[in-house]
Amino acid sequence: MTQEKLKIWIKAARPQTLPAAFVPVCVGTTLAIHDHRFSLAPTLVALICALLIQIGTNFANDYFDFKKGADTDERIGFERATAKGYISTTGMRNATIITMGLAFVLGLYLVWHAGWIIFWLGVLSLICGVLYTGGPFPLGYNGLGDLFVFIFFGIVAVMGTYYVNALQWSRSSFWASLAVGALSTNILVVNNLRDIEQDGPAGKNTLGVLFGENVLRWEYLTMLLLALAIPPHFYFRLSYNWIIFIPYISLPIAGLLVRKIWKEENKQKLNNALKQTAIFMALFGILFSVGILGDLL
């Protein structure tokens, strides 16, 4: 593979979205460390599987959006490799199958380690990753993309990571997963706000297409407030110490992002807002993890 081709595949993997895969594993693992239940091998495999599922979902979106006519010359979002002709439809389809297949094979270790519940969660994650834009009822085309992201890149990913470490569920991993799911959803919200004018004619009925741009803006703010409400819950209800509030260092960035989402009229500039939302998620997730570990001091 030439260097130029490698760059194309890296762009197609959409690395700007990978915090949605990394942060859930980071937070779930940190909670396991806090509870003295950390296990290295399952954590590493869970991280690799999460990254593969995210990349596989991105490949599937690239493939199915092109096949369904959602990616046109009017697209203002990040370039899609299939639509631009950089990668053939067959190549993108095969990349999706290979990536998801690797996630499945590696996930079998987690099934062996943690039991059949992980098998079913993993299979559901893989299926929904493909059905996000593929199949007879694509989730992203029927207003269900936000719910999918919140559940699978939030609740399932955080609680699943904790489970493969501790081999049991926990209240704290559920509450933490709400913050992670909310911030993951906001990446999609910016994406849908940017693409709203192209999605409607293509039959991609996101929440923005169905209910208007302001619904997406309110959703972004609501998800952000939900994430910010979780550290106080850990402090007041789960008896963590004051260090759990360290994610609030990121509040100025959150304020700037909300302002940009509400005020920016040039949809092209929302590409930067999407990147910044993903970076904010990574920052919040790392600071939240620091706060969780700080409770051990």
Three-state DSSP class for 296?
A: coil
**For residue 272, what are the CA distances in angstroms to 68, 134, 147, 170, 230?**
26, 27, 24, 36, 26
Using alpha carbons, select from 221, 275, 283 the residue that is nearest to residue 249: 283
Looking at the whole model, is its pTM more than 0.85?
A: yes
Least confident of 77-81, 92-96, 153-157, 163-167: 77-81
Amino acid identity for residue 287 in this structure: L
Cα 127 to Cα 250: distance, rounded to the nearest angstrom: 35
- Is 3 within the bounds of a domain? no
Confidence of residue 59 (pLDDT cuts 50, 70, 90): very high
| Phi–psi pair at 126, nearest 5 degrees | -65, -45
Three-state DSSP class for 80?
A: coil
- Residue-level pLDDT at 220: 98
Query: Does residue 241 surpass a pLDDT of 90?
Result: yes
DSSP type of residue 79: P
Confidence of residue 70 (pLDDT cuts 50, 70, 90): low
Q: For the segment 184-207, what is each residue's pLDDT rounded down to a tens digit? A: 999 999 999 999 988 888 889 999
Query: Does residue 154 surpass a pLDDT of 70?
Result: yes
Q: For the segment 159-180, what is each residue's pLDDT rounded down to a tens digit? A: 999 999 999 999 999 999 999 9
- Is 6 within the bounds of a domain? no
| Mean pLDDT (whole number) for 244-263 | 97
Query: Does residue 145 surpass a pLDDT of 80?
Result: yes
Q: How many CA atoms lie within 13 A of 108 on its CB side?
A: 6
Residue 290 lies in domain: 19-294
Residues near 140 by beta carbon (within 8 Å), at least 6 away in sequence: 61, 132, 133, 148, 204, 206
The number of helix segments (H) and strand segments (E) in the chain equals: 13, 0
- Residue-level pLDDT at 239: 95
Type and span of the H or E element at 264: none
- Is 171 within the bounds of a domain? yes
- Is 1 within the bounds of a domain? no
- Residue-level pLDDT at 1: 65
- Is 8 within the bounds of a domain? no
Domain count, the chain: 1
- Is 4 within the bounds of a domain? no
Query: Does residue 75 surpass a pLDDT of 70?
Result: no
Confidence of residue 66 (pLDDT cuts 50, 70, 90): confident
CB atoms under 10 Å from CB of 258, counted, come to 15
In CATH, what number is assigned to the domain containing residue 146? 1.10.600
| Mean pLDDT (whole number) for 66-73 | 73
Residue pair 110/122 in contact by the 8 Å Cβ criterion? yes
- Is 97 within the bounds of a domain? yes
Amino acid identity for residue 99 in this structure: T
CA-CA-CA-CA torsion sign (266, 268, 22, 49): positive
Least confident of 86-90, 182-186, 197-201, 242-246: 197-201
Core vs surface per residue 11-22: b (16+ CB within 10 A) or e: bbbbebbbbbbb
Cα 36 to Cα 46: distance, rounded to the nearest angstrom: 18
- Is 138 within the bounds of a domain? yes
- Residue-level pLDDT at 176: 98
Q: For the segment 21-55, what is each residue's pLDDT rounded down to a tens digit? A: 999 999 999 999 999 999 999 999 999 999 999 99
